[in-house]
Chain A
Amino acid sequence: DQQVKQNSPSLSVQEGRISILNCDYTNSMFDYFLWYKKYPAEGPTFLISISSIKDKNEDGRFTVFLNKSAKHLSLHIVPSQPGDSAVYFCAARPSYSGAGSYQLTFGKGTKLSVIP
């Protein structure tokens, strides 16, 4: 059973507009969430993260929102740029409590295309 779900396999957005990528999770033990970006022929690279004690984290054009009651997080990119075109993975991990708890569980990814 998927514990981290990205229900939109793809998203197209016009350059300059807002991109909103969504992620849902089912494991209530998750307390730290990360977004990774992946270009073709490269490994995923870390983008932004959020702890469950926060509901928002911002880094430049990227903002992650966390709604714990809904078990939902979203990544907002404003303004979107053609270079943002990539696959975005949502990942989550439970609170640290020993061996194995540092494992990240990844969603299937959303392919974002920013149209010039």
Chain B
Amino acid sequence: DADVTQTPRNRITKTGKRIMLECSQTKGHDRMYWYRQDPGLGLRLIYYSFDVKDINKGEISDGYSVSRQAQAKFSLSLESAIPNQTALYFCATSDEPSSGSSEQFFGPGTRLTVL
């Protein structure tokens, strides 16, 4: 079973609709992240959370919100989707950096299309 799962894997929606992307992990990590990938732009950080009570904005948080429902669950919402939010969205998790590793583990991604 995958350690980091994302639902849905694909979604097509219309401008103005509210969309929620969900992420679950079984790695027991406290830290979770949401990224978007656009062609030619690499991965950009939207939001991150270091524990259930800690939420932080990333590089491109405008138009997005998140909810950390539990240690294992971190959801990303688009309150009113717009076409330039069409992208590939990745959730990731990581351990405490004091553990010696900076590695982030990624989910399989959600392809979102906003018409």
Within 8 A of A (CB), among B17-58: 31, 35, 40-45, 48, 50, 54, 56, 58
Q: How large is the interface on B (under 10, 10 to 19, 20 to 34, 35 or more residues)?
A: 20 to 34
Q: Are B42 and A43 in contact (CB under 8 A)?
A: no
A-B pairs with CB below 8 Å: how many?
A: 57
Q: Measured between alpha carbons, how far is A34 from B102 in the docked complex, in Å?
A: 8
Stretch at the interface among A63-71, A76-84, A106-114: A106-114
The reply to whether B103 and A42 contact each other, CB–CB distance below 8 Å, is no
Please report the total number of A residues contacting B with Cβ < 8 Å.
Answer: 26
The A-contacting residues of B in range 78-110, CB under 8 angstroms, are: 90, 92, 94, 97-98, 102-109
**For the complex, what is the distance from the CA of A44 to the CA of B41, rounded to whole Å?**
15
Main secondary structure of the interface of B (DSSP, over half): strand
Binding site for A on B (CB under 8 A): 4, 31, 35, 40-45, 48, 50, 54, 56, 58, 90, 92, 94, 97-98, 102-109
5 further contact pairs, Cβ within 8 A, besides A46-B103, A102-B31, A108-B40: A41-B108, A41-B109, A43-B92, A100-B56, A103-B45
